[in-house]
Amino acid sequence: MSRVPKVGDEITLTATILKVMEGGVLSVSLPSYNFPLAVDSPPKAKPGQKIEIRGFATRVDKEDGKVTVRINGGGRARWMAIPSPAIRCPCCSE
């Protein structure tokens, strides 16, 4: 049974690669997040492939059912508020 993530928990997001850009950067799509995201490219990445992106929960909003996740990639850090069902916490997904 899963639990609500807490601030500091490592969060794994599953993203779909939209396109591979110059400089080893990917444009990816996350479920329930309405904007593309640029992240560093793993070797041999191809459009349509699913990849895992890891970050840390920095805020949990129980009223809105969202978790803000800090993602490092594409040369800078980003913070995204993502609805809780779209994430899984590695420490409690067994």
Q: Which pTM was predicted?
A: 0.70
Position 30 scores a pLDDT of 85
Q: What domain count does the chain have?
A: 1
Q: How confident is the model at residue 20 (pLDDT cuts 50, 70, 90)?
A: very high
Range of the domain at 16: 10-92
Asked if residue 1 belongs to a domain, the reply is no
Asked if residue 4 belongs to a domain, the reply is no
Determine the Cα–Cα distance for residues 38 and 88; give it in Å rounded to an integer.
Answer: 21
Q: How confident is the model at residue 94 (pLDDT cuts 50, 70, 90)?
A: very low
Each residue's pLDDT tens digit, 41-89: 888 899 999 998 888 888 888 777 788 888 776 555 566 666 665 455 5
Determine the Cα–Cα distance for residues 93 and 53; give it in Å rounded to an integer.
Answer: 16
Asked if residue 35 belongs to a domain, the reply is yes
